[in-house]
Structures are given as C-alpha cells and as structure tokens.
A and B are shown apart, each in its own frame.
Chain A
Amino acid sequence: MSEDQKVPVDEMNAQTVGNSTPETANKDLLQVRVSDSNTEVYFRVKRDTPLRRVFEGFCKRTGKDMKSLRFLYEGERINEDDTPQSLDMENEDLIEALNQQVGGLFYRQG
C-alpha cells in the first residue's frame, strides 16, 4: 500500500499510521482492518471490546446500515458480542464486510 492512498482521518491520528507504533505494540490493544470492496478502515481496539463497536464505526464511516452488512473473519460470521480476544485475532487482521444476501425470485446475470 503506497503512502498516498492513505487518507488520514484526523491530524492526531495521522502520525500513528503504521504497525509499529507504541500503542499497537501494547498487547491490550490491536489494530484491525475492516474492508468492504471499496473502503478499508483501520481501528485500534482493546482486545476485550465487543466488535460491535468496530462495526458501528465502520458503518458511520461508510454511511451504511449495519443491518445490511455482514462482518466476517476468516470466512465466519462475527457476532456483535465477539471480541478480538474471543476470535484470537492478531494485529492487522482483516474483517470483511459483505452485503446482506436476500433472494426470492429475480436473477440478473453477471
């Protein structure tokens, strides 16, 4: 990832971009990535924080409705009360945000 692709959220946080900051070295904190197909957002979280907080942050950032998104870690759906600890997440791990899938009739090719 080249440096110019990064969009710092605010000045205070801009300097903390990178993996080896003192904060993320702290074992109580880790950085997770949340990504849909367009946007990737990095969050620093405590290991025992319910990931719902992260989802809320991601939805706020992308303007999406949380009900319409599914968050997956290593192919498994994350429940709102899961924490990085309960999932054995490591620093820089990726959470994928997928759209809800509904189906009844219509099919569009492609």
Chain B
Amino acid sequence: MSNKPSRHVKDRGLMHSLNTRPAQYKSLSQMNSSKPRKVLANCSVSCLILEDGPAPGTEKVFKAILHLSPTAIDITWDHKRLLSFWADLSSVEQNIPHEDYLLRGNRPAPIRIRFEDKNDKVLFLNYARKKDKLRSSFSSLSSVESPAKLKLIGSKTPISTLDQPEIEKEDPNRKSSSKNDSPQTNEEHYSGNSFSNSPERAKPKRPRLVVDYAAEDSLDELGMDPAEEPTEESIADLKKRGINGASYTSVSERRAIKLAASDVGRLLPRYYLNDNLINFFSRVFMDEYGNQDSKFSTHVFSTYFYSQAKKASGLDRMASWLSKVPLDKSIYLIPIHGAYHWTLAAVIGFDTILEGNTLSLILSDSLGVANIKARGIKPVVKDIFRKLFELKYPNEVFQPKICTIIAKTPSQSNSVDCGVFILDYVTDILRDPKRFVEEVNKKRSLLELDWDDISTNSDYGDREKYLSIVQKYATSEEELKVAASSEIGSPLDIEEVKVSKVKRNRRI
C-alpha cells in the first residue's frame, strides 16, 4: 500500500500534536519503523490521564486497554501525568478489555485517548467512571463534518484502514480475533458501546457524540491546575514589571472594568483565561476598532450574558440586561463559556433582519468542537435575538431563518489557550468587520476565514501581546493606595436582614 508518503505527514502531525516532544518523537519513530507496518499508522495518538497522577498500576491498565505487547508502545510519562505513545489502533479496536477488568484493578482515571490524523480530524475515546461502571464513548472533534457525517469521516480518514480487507492485505498472517466480522461498517468504529461490551461485539450503533471528559478535576500535564489562581511568585513577577492590575472604562459603559493582579497573572503561559480578561479586552478592542466603520459596527456581549440566558427562563429575568444592548449594530459577538472552555459566537444580519429575514450564527472554536456545541448554542442565541427583536420592532413578528456556520479557525496546540484564541478571533473580526460580513454572506457554509493576524507558530498563544495592552491601562501606584485606604470602613455599615432559599427556576 502506498503508505510511505502519508507516514511522513503523520510524523509531522505527531510533532505538532498535543503534548509531544522531539525526544519522544525520535524514539517513537524508531520504534515504529522497526515494527511491521501498522494499520492506522498515520494517526498520532496522545493520551492524558486525567487524575492526580498515575495511580500505581495505571500504566498496566493502560497496556491492558490497548492490549499491546510492552514493546509495541512507548509510554512516556511527562510530569507524571501525561502519557503518550504510538499504538496499533487496530488492536485497540479488538482488545478493549472487559469493563470488569478495568474496575477490578487500580482505579483507572478518567481517561481520554486522542486520535488525530493528518487532516486534523480528531477523535477522542473517553473512559469515565459513572456510578461504579466504566463507560467508554467516542467523541468526534472534527471541525469540518457535522455529526451526521461521522460515517463519512470514517471512510475518508486513515481510521478507515481498520477496515478488514485492508488489514488482510497488509498483514495476512496476523491473527486477529475480529476477522470473522469483516462486513462491519465504519460506523462501528465510533460506537463506544461496542468496546465496553467486548469481547462479544455489540451491534453497530449510531455514533455517540457525547463529549464527556470527566475532567472536572482535571490537571494540566504540567503538574498544575490551570484553572487555579496564579501563584504568588508569578504575581510577584508581574509586579516587578510594574503590572499591579488594570482598569479600563469603556465609552459605552458607566463603570470601569478592573483587572486585579491575579487576573492579569492568568495571562502568563499555562493559565486559563477568566471572564475578567475576556471582558476587559473585548471592551478595549470594541472601543478601539468596533466603531470605525459605522456600517459595520460591532457589539461584544459580556461573558455573563450567554451564561445567564442559558438558564431556565433566564432571559425573562434579564430585561435590564437586554435594555443595555445596542440594537443597531451589524455584528454581535458573544463569548460563550462552557465548563473550562471558551467559544465565540458571532451573529450578523440583525441590522437587516426585516429585509433579509436571516440571521447568521458563526461559531469559532479553537478546539473544533463548535459543531458539537452548535445544537445547544443555537436555541439560546435565537432566544436572545428574539428578545432584542421585540425591543427593536415591537409590532413585528420574529421569524427569521437562523443559519449556523462553523468557522474554520486556527486551533490551539495546547490545553490552556482557548481564551487567548477567543481574544484573537474578536480582534480579527473587529479589525476588519467588513471583510468578515462579506465573507459570511458570500459562502453560507463552511467559513474559511483569513485569520491573518493570528499566529499559530509558537507553543503558546501570543499572550505577551495582551500583557502589553494591560500595561497600557495598568493601575498606578497612587490609585492602588487610594483603593487600599478605602478598605477601611465600619463593618456596621451593612446589616444582613434575611436569607431565603431560591427555588430553582423561580423568578426572582
């Protein structure tokens, strides 16, 4: 088979793939070349054990999961949390052990295996423990195909080399337990259930597109939790650079948005960005670029807006929020916060909604999960704009078509930078809103925007750029002193009157 050229592509893919280092790469490729050619050889695999560190025996469990001989995989621990290896994925498919086995051993962590091919299509095999049962599920992170097309992805990507006829062609002598079910479809490779029920194969099922990383308490591969507050040392470093915090008052708002030193510290590499930073920069950029072209003016929602609107009957309680949204803008940007992830939604067409009767919802996501999220985001965005429409045209009926577009975006090559990418997207759209609107209107399908200002060369996003903007609005020493002096106040200034429990979904 003409696998040679694609192997090169694969190798580069590995270099660029998450969590892989050149040293490992060398040993891995050597290891790989000495093996007979593997099916699925042009997938790079990396894996995170999402736990406090590998429990004793986790490695064993892992080998069991993959059911590979110890020489077939090259497991590298990185700061005790990262595992990366090359593997023959055909045997993954065949030999996922019975879930009882996994439960008996040392407690396996929530495990996620990332499969990535040269086309940057990403699949995750997730293991999560739910009520004493280990569940496996596949999730697709393809930024291109819609969930319904998963089957097609399978037939196009190297994962399809799992097809039985090809295995036979490549390695006819291989003893394989799965030979007897050769007519299986590609679809089955994605159905997680069939794994947990092995050795008896389950019937092919529709792909399960549940992204459940069980990663609520996940840790970064670097041995720290990037969601944590920045350390004292990193804040001290910032203070040495003269950054104690920052303050910016938007022209459209009464009050300043303030950044504390701990917020700014999140701009250092490896930290997650928080709401304060996203709101701060979106206001700075909105004022700087947002209104330079009155035909393409832009409004950026605060990060809380979507979160509140998503809640049950949330929008009904948000009259005061809605009244502050300018109704005459041509682009609305909505930063969306899911658990530990940022996505950017853009809505255009609201200014011409009476004539065009169409709203375009453009989703940009640095992990490529926008297609998965779209189903959840669309109704919320529609509700938001229904409310805005009622404010703008009290006598009209809201019935536009909402057209969802998944933007093809530069993606993050690490596990912490999606906030930085959101800011990059916001800047890029704000700098040239006309181009953005025209491109969206031109092709109402997959949007391949020219994100020319976004650098994807370095390991981490261009965080320095944002630090220097903070520096521009940094809080001065005097302001800090004033703030400190106002700390003193009588605790008797307030009095707690009563406490009551809020019933869920109750209108407040």
Q: Which residues of A contact B (CB under 8 A)?
A: 1, 5-9, 13-14, 16-17, 31, 33, 35-46, 49-50, 53-54, 57, 61, 67, 70, 72, 74-79, 81-82, 94, 96, 98, 100-110
Contact = CB atoms under 8 A, between A and B. Distances in A.
A103 B305 contact: no
A39 B499 contact: yes
B341 to A, nearest CB: 4
B499 A40 contact: yes
B342 A76 contact: no
Nearest to A108: B339
Which of A17, A82, A96 has its CB near the most chain B CB atoms (within 10 A)?
Answer: A96
Given A41-B496, A104-B340, A50 B216 contact: no
B308 A108 contact: no
B304 A109 contact: no
A46 B460 CA distance: 47
Nearest to B274: A102
Contacts of B337: 101, 103
B497 A17 contact: yes
A42 B367 contact: no
Contacts of A33: 508
**Size bracket of the B interface:** 35 or more
Contact of A108 (B213, B255, B274, B497): B213
Contacts of A50: 486, 489
A54 B376 CA distance: 35
A100 B338 contact: no
Contact of A53 (B211, B278, B415, B494): B494
Contacts of B108: none
A46 B109 CA distance: 52
Given A7-B498, A77-B255, A35 B508 contact: yes
Contacts of B216: 108
A108 B486 contact: no
A108 B215 contact: yes
Given A49-B494, A70-B304, 17 more contacts: A7-B499, A17-B497, A38-B502, A41-B499, A44-B494, A53-B493, A54-B494, A75-B305, A77-B255, A101-B274, A104-B415, A105-B340, A105-B412, A106-B218, A107-B367, A107-B369, A109-B373
B338 A107 contact: yes
A74 B304 contact: no
Given A98-B308, A101-B275, A102-B273, A9 B419 contact: no
Contacts of B412: 105
A13 B340 CA distance: 41
